[in-house]
A = this chain, B = another copy of it.
Amino acid sequence: MTQQDKRNSWRKRAEDTAARKEAAAPLYVKGKEVLAKDTVALLEAVIRPFDIINIEGNNQKQADFLAECLNKVDRGKIHDLHMVQSAVPLPAHLDLFENGIAKKLDFAFGGPQAGRVAKFIANGKIELGAIHTYLELFGRYFLDLTPRVSLVCAYKADRKGNLYTGFNTEDTPAIVEATKFREGIVIAQVNEIVDELPRVDIPGDWVDAVIQSPKPFFIEPLFTRDPALVTDSQILLAMMCLKGIYAEYGVSSMNHGIGFLTSAIELILPTYGLELGLKGKCCTHMILNPHPTMIPAIEEGWVDTIHCFGGELGMEDYVASRPDVFFVGPDGSLRSNRAFAQTAGHYAIDMFIGGTLQIDKYGNSSTATAGRVAGFGGAPNMGCDAKGRRHPTDAWLKCGQELPSLERDIGNLPRGKRLVVQGVETFGEGRAPVFVDELDAWKLARDADLPIPPVMIYGDDLTHIVTEEGIAYLNRCKDMEARMAAIRAVAGFTDIGLAAKPEETRALREAGIVKTVSDLGINPARANRDLLAAKSMRDLVTWSGGLYNPPARFRNW
C-alpha cells in the first residue's frame, strides 16, 4: 500500500458522509433549507442500515416531526438502526422498532413508553444496549456511541444553518458537537426559518440541513406542580427536611428532584424556612429547571443563582425578567444546557433530594418496576457521591465527618460526602409499600436479560431517608446492620417497618441516627396548607407579577 493509499483509508467516514450529502444535494432549496415535504427523502439519502442515529428529545422538547418522518422511510433501504438518545417518550420512538427500522437502543429515560420498551425487549424487537444517566450517555457520544446522523430540534434557524435553541437549548450542543466533529450529519427541525436570529446557539457550520416543521415541536411542562394538590402529609415531610437536613447541615446548593415533596419544600421556604432562619443560608445556589413553585422564594430574595437543564413551559417571561438569578443571554432569553447543568449537578452541589418508588432493606432504590424499563434520567448523576470532587464546603465536610465507616475505606484520611436524600411516604401510589425486601428491578433484570438490576440510587450513596415516621441519618450508621435498623425504624407499617425492634429504634434515636417528628421539635398540627406561600396556580401567577403564564391545562380560572 502506498503512503497515499494508506492516508486515504483514514477518511472513510468523511468520504461516506460526502457521498450521502451528495445524494441529498437536489433536496436543498436555499442555503441549508430543505422543505418539510422532502424530509423523508432527505433521511433516505443520508441514513444507511446499521447507522447510529440520535433523535433529540429529552423529557422536555422533542424533535417529533423528524421522529415521525423516520418512521416513513423505506425499510427495505433503512433498517437495523442503532438509536442512541436521551429519552424515548414519544410513540414514534418505539414505532421505529415496531416497524423494523431500528433494532438497538441506548438511552437514559423511558417515561410514558417504559412499558413498551420492556415488552419490545422481551419479544426481541429491541436489543437493549444499556440504560444510562444523561451525562453518562453524552460522554459516550464522544467515545463509543457517536451518532452518524443526528436529528435535532430548535426554535429558529437561518439558511446558513445557525440555530436558535434559546430557552430550551437542553441537549442540542452535546449532540451536535459529537456528531458533526466526527464527520457526521446534523439535521434540525425548527419552528421557523428566519433571516435574522435573536442569537446563535449552534453555529451554522455545525449543521447540515434545516427544515421548518409543519407545526412547532412538542414540549412537555414536566416540572410544573399545582400547589393546590400539595397534601398536608407532604408539608410535614417538607418541614422535616428543612429542619432536620437543610438547617442541620446548612445546605446552600442543591438540586430538587421532580415530585410534590420538593415542590412543598419550595413553597414553605418563605414561611417555615424563614422562621428557621434559613434565608441567605439555604437554597442560595440551585441546579434546577425553572420550577414555578420556586417563584415565591425567588421573589422573596432567597436565591442567588439557578442554572437550568432545560426550560419549563410558561416560565419564559418570568425567567427573562430575572436575569440576576437565571442564565439569560444578551438577547434576553434563557440559555439552558443539560450537559453543564448535570456537570454542576454532579460536582458543584452539596445535596440531591428527590423521591423514589421503592427502597430495599439495604437502602438501594429504584423507580424501575416489573414490566417497565423506565430509566433514571439525571438522578444517578446527582444522587451519588461524586468521588472526583475535591473542593470542600461545610455541608459536605459535616456529612463526611459523621461517617463512622470512613476509616474502613481510606484509613486515617478525612473526606466529605454529598448529601443524597430520599423523601417518601411509606406507602406510595396505589398504597404500594415503598420499603421492600427486594426491588422489582431484580425481576426486571431477569425478564429483560440485563447483566445487573437497574438501580437508581445505591445504598452507599444514599445518606438520608425521610418518611412520615422520621429521618434516618444513614451516614451516621457504622455498618450495614445499623443502616438496615435505621431504615426499618422509618419504614412505618410496611413489612420492613414492622420488623423494627422498639429497643433498637430507641437506641438509634438516642444516638441521633433516627429522629422522629417530635425528636425534631416539629408540631405536626402546623403541617397544613396554611404554610404554603402559594396555594394555587393563580397564586404563583400573582407572585410572579403576571409574568408566569401557566399552560392551559393548569388553569382553572
Q: Chain A residues in contact with chain B, CB under 8 A?
A: 3, 6-7, 10-14, 106, 129-133, 135-136, 138-140, 142-144, 146, 162, 174, 177-178, 180-183, 199-201, 203-205, 253, 285, 287, 304-305, 307, 321-325, 327-331, 335, 337, 339-341, 343-349, 360-364, 376, 380-392, 397, 407-416, 450-455, 458-461, 479-480, 545
Q: Which residue of B lies closest to A445 (CB)?
A: B414
Closest to A379 in B: B388
Chain B residues lying within 8 Å of A381, measured Cβ to Cβ, are: 388
Show 11 A/B contacts (Cβ-Cβ < 8 Å), sorted by A.
Answer: A10-B324, A14-B328, A136-B388, A142-B344, A143-B285, A180-B330, A182-B327, A200-B205, A364-B410, A364-B413, A411-B480
Residues of chain B contacted by A139 (CB below 8 angstroms): 340, 343-348
Q: In the complex, A452→B390 CA distance in Å?
A: 9
Cβ-neighbour of A458 out of B323, B376, B415 (below 8 A): B415
Q: Which residue of B lies closest to A307 (CB)?
A: B142
Q: Which of A162, A380, A411 has the most CB of B within 10 A?
A: A411
Pick the most buried of A129, A139, A305, A339: most chain B CB atoms within 10 A of its CB: A139
B323 x A410 contact (CB < 8 A): no
Shortest distance from the beta carbon of A448 to any chain B beta carbon, whole Å: 13
B388 touches A143 (CB 8 A): no
Query: In the bound complex, do residue A329 and residue B180 qualify as a contact, i.e. CB atoms below 8 Å apart?
Result: yes
Which of B3, B10, B287 is within 8 Å of A143, CB to CB? B287
A483 to chain B minimum Cβ distance, whole angstroms, is 9
Q: How far is the CB of A525 from chain B (nearest CB, A)?
A: 35
Chain B contacts of A452 at CB under 8 A? 392, 397, 413-416
- Are A461 and B387 closer than 8 Å at their CB atoms? yes
Residues of B contacting A324 with CB < 8 Å? 10-14, 183
CB < 8 Å neighbour of A174 from B330, B340, B480, B545: B340
Asked if A143 and B253 make an inter-chain contact with CB atoms under 8 angstroms apart, the answer reads yes
Expressed in whole angstroms, the Cα–Cα distance for A235 and B45 within the complex equals: 50
Q: Is the interface of A mostly helix, strand, loop or mixed?
A: loop
**A12 CB contacts on chain B under 8 angstroms:** 324
How far is it, in angstroms, between the C-alpha of A461 and the C-alpha of B410 when the chains are bound? Answer: 9
A324 and B140 CA atoms in complex are apart in Å by 17
Closest residue of B by beta carbon distance from A133: B388
Bound: A381/B382 CA distance, A: 15
Q: List 12 additional A-B contacts (Cβ < 8 Å) besides A136-B391, A139-B343, A139-B347.
A: A13-B323, A129-B391, A135-B388, A199-B203, A364-B411, A380-B387, A380-B389, A384-B388, A390-B455, A392-B452, A410-B460, A411-B459
Nearest CB on B from A484, distance (A):
8
Chain B nearest CB, measured from A105 CB (Å) = 12
Nearest CB of B to A374, in Å: 12
User: Contact between B142 and A348 (Cβ–Cβ < 8 Å)?
Assistant: yes
Smallest CB–CB gap between A153 and chain B, Å? 18
A130 CB contacts on chain B under 8 angstroms: 390-392
- Give Cα A330–Cα B179 distance, bound, in whole angstroms: 11
In the bound complex, CA of A7 to CA of B318 (Å): 10
Query: What's the minimum C-beta distance from A195 to chain B, rounded to whole angstroms?
Result: 16
Task: Tell me which residues across on chain B come within 8 A of A408, comparing CB atoms.
Answer: 479-480
Partner among B13, B131, B415 whose Cβ is within 8 Å of the Cβ of A391: B131
- Of the residues B140, B287, B335, contact of A348 by C-beta under 8 Å: B140
With a cutoff of 8 Å between Cβ atoms, the chain B residues found around residue A344 in the complex are: 139-140, 142-143
Q: A139-B347, A142-B340, A347-B139 are in contact. Are A390 and B10 (CB under 8 A)?
A: no
A284: nearest residue on chain B (CB-CB)?
Answer: B144
**Which residues in B have their C-beta under 8 angstroms from that of A132?**
390-391
List chain B residues, Cβ under 8 A from A7: 321, 545
A304 to B335 CA separation, bound complex (whole angstroms): 34
- Knowing A285-B143, A327-B142, the reply to whether A454 touches B390 (Cβ < 8 A) is yes
Chain B residue with Cβ nearest A130: B391
- Enumerate chain B residues within 8 angstroms of A142, measured Cβ to Cβ: 287, 307, 327, 337, 340-341, 343-344, 348
Closest residue on chain B to residue A480 by CB atoms: B408
* Chain B residues within an 8 Å CB radius of A451: 392, 397
Give the distance in Å from the alpha carbon of A376 to the alpha carbon of B388 in the complex.
10
Please measure, in the bound complex, the distance between the C-alpha atom of A407 and the C-alpha atom of B364, giving whole angstroms: 12
A544 to B10, alpha carbons, bound, how many Å? Answer: 12
Residue of B nearest to A454 (CB): B390
Would A177 and B340 count as touching, CB distance under 8 A?
yes
- Is the beta-carbon distance between B346 and A388 smaller than 8 angstroms? yes
When the two chains form their complex, are residues A335 and B181 in contact, meaning their CB atoms are under 8 A apart?
yes
Taking a contact as CB atoms under 8 Å apart, the answer to whether B327 and A453 are in contact is no
Nearest neighbor of A335 in chain B, beta-carbon distance = B181
The CA-CA distance from A328 to B17 in the complex, in Å, is 13
B-chain residues with CB within 8 Å of residue A322 when the two chains form the complex: 10
Task: Give Cα distance in the complex from A412 to B330, angstroms.
Answer: 52
Give the Cβ gap from A464 to chain B, nearest Cβ, in Å.
17
Give the residues in chain B near A304, CB-CB below 8 Å. Answer: 144
* Chain B residues, Cβ within 8 Å of A364: 410-411, 413
Contacts of A361 in B (CB 8 A): 411
Within the complex, the shortest CB–CB distance from A346 to chain B, in Å, comes to 6
